[in-house]
Amino acid sequence: MVIEHAIDHLRQEKYPPLAVASALLGGALGVLARSADKDTILRILDSAASSVRSGDVHASVKAEDGHESEKA
């Protein structure tokens, strides 16, 4: 996928992971703003925040990596 290729390129260029993630989130919000209303965007963000709070996000990363996440 194009996005994955771009992420790999930025990692190879030694961009900090937080900067890459922030840029991707900003871009995603821009896409959402063009295609969804404010309440829908807020529901998506609330769902994402709930996944972080519950630990689901870190658990999925841990499962993909096959080891314990330092952040979990």
Kindly state whether residues 28 and 42 are assigned to the same domain: no
Measured CA to CA, the distance from residue 58 to residue 72 in angstroms comes to 6
Measured CA to CA, the distance from residue 32 to residue 43 in angstroms comes to 12
Kindly state whether residues 47 and 23 are assigned to the same domain: no
Measured CA to CA, the distance from residue 16 to residue 33 in angstroms comes to 26
Kindly state whether residues 30 and 45 are assigned to the same domain: no
Residue 72: predicted pLDDT: 44
* Structural domain harbouring 54: 37-72
Kindly state whether residues 6 and 18 are assigned to the same domain: yes
Kindly state whether residues 41 and 72 are assigned to the same domain: yes
Residue 67: predicted pLDDT: 61
Mean pLDDT of 31-48: 97
Task: Give the total number of structural domains in the chain.
Answer: 2
Residue 69: predicted pLDDT: 44
Kindly state whether residues 5 and 25 are assigned to the same domain: yes
Kindly state whether residues 48 and 68 are assigned to the same domain: yes
